[in-house]
Amino acid sequence: MTDGAAIRSRFLPRFLTIATGRIERCSQLAERGDWNAITTELHALAGEAALLELRDIANLAREGERLARKPESQVECASILRSLEAQIAACASAS
Partner 1 sequence: MTTKKVLVMDDSELVLDTVKEALETSGFSVVTAKDLTQLEERCSRGVPDLFVLDVQMPEMFGDDVGQVLRDVRKMKVPIVLFSSMDESTLAERVRDGGLDGCVSKSAGLGALVTCVESLLGTPRAS
Nearer to partner 1, 58 or 81 (CB): 58
Is residue 68 within 8 A of residue 42, CB to CB? The reply is yes
In terms of Cβ atoms closer than 10 Å to its own Cβ (0-12, 13-18, 19+), residue 42 is: buried
Give the length of the chain: 95
Write the DSSP assignment of 14-40 as a string of letters. HHHHHHHHHHHHHHHHHHHT-HHHHHH
| Residues 43 to 62 in contact with partner 1, rule: CB under 8 A | 43-44, 46-48, 50-53, 55, 58, 62
Interface of this chain with partner 1, residues 2 to 41, rule: CB under 8 A:
2-4, 7, 10-11, 14-15, 18, 40
CB of 42 to partner 1, least distance (A): 10
State the residues that interact with partner 1 by CB under 8 A. Answer: 1-4, 7, 10-11, 14-15, 18, 40, 43-44, 46-48, 50-53, 55, 58, 62
